[in-house]
Amino acid sequence: MTERSIHHSTIVIERTYDASPSRVFAAWSTREALLRWGNPGDGWDLAYDHFDFRVGGGDINRFGPRGGPTFRNETTYFDIVPDVRIVSASSMTSEGKHIFASLITAEFILAGKGCRLIVTEQGAFLDGHDKRANHEAGWSEMLDKLRIELLRTQVAA
């Protein structure tokens, strides 16, 4: 019988980027950009089964190390203020088990000519399957990749 537990934890992580809030927001709201930076693991696979960025819409993605366990994330967008903030709720499963639920807030704040991004993940870790340290590492990896994405699209513009 499964030992049931919930561990609640809030992670706050921020970065300042040399790009306008509008460009950073665009990288959070388009599938093509997210495929490039939204993968929490180095060299992991990421695919979207569904993508509908609007209030009341959501997305479903699958990600994980090549040849390793697959994680499935289902997200619903509750609040979107263009170029200002996104608030969404997500459920993560792995091999059919619910391992994590969260509320994610992304705030895009004008900082000089750039953008200060603050990500707050309020999470509920279920039944000991996942832990905070994994998520801190995952967000750090993604936000570093976002910097590369923004440089790449700046050069292309």
Partner 1 sequence: MTQHSVTHATFTIVRHYDASPDRVFAAWAQKDRKARWYASHAGRRSQDFTLDFRIGGREHLSIAGPDGVVHTFDGQYQDIVPNERIIYSYDMHLDRTRISVSLTTVELKADGTGTKLIFTEQDAFLDGHDTASQRETGTRSLLDSLAAFLATGDPD
Please report, as ranges, the residues that interact with partner 1 according to CB under 8 A: 4, 6, 8, 10, 12, 76, 78-79, 81, 84-85, 87, 89, 91, 98, 101-103, 105, 107, 120, 122-124, 126
Pairing state between β 114-126 and 71-81: unpaired
Q: Choose between 86 and 150: whose C-beta lies nearer to partner 1.
A: 86
* Cβ 47 to partner 1 shortest distance, Å: 20
Nearest-angstrom CA–CA distance, 109 and 123:
23
Q: Choose between 4 and 54: whose C-beta lies nearer to partner 1.
A: 4
Nearest-angstrom CA–CA distance, 58 and 68:
26
Q: Choose between 22 and 154: whose C-beta lies nearer to partner 1.
A: 22
* Cβ 18 to partner 1 shortest distance, Å: 22
E strand or H helix at 64: strand 58-64
Q: Choose between 33 and 106: whose C-beta lies nearer to partner 1.
A: 106
* Cβ 87 to partner 1 shortest distance, Å: 5
Kindly state the tokens that stand for 9: 């934890």
Q: Choose between 35 and 104: whose C-beta lies nearer to partner 1.
A: 104
Beta bridge partners of 135: none
* Cβ 123 to partner 1 shortest distance, Å: 8
E strand or H helix at 149: helix 132-156
Nearest-angstrom CA–CA distance, 92 and 75:
9
Phi and psi angles of residue 150, each rounded to the nearest 5 degrees, phi first? -70, -35
* Cβ 109 to partner 1 shortest distance, Å: 9
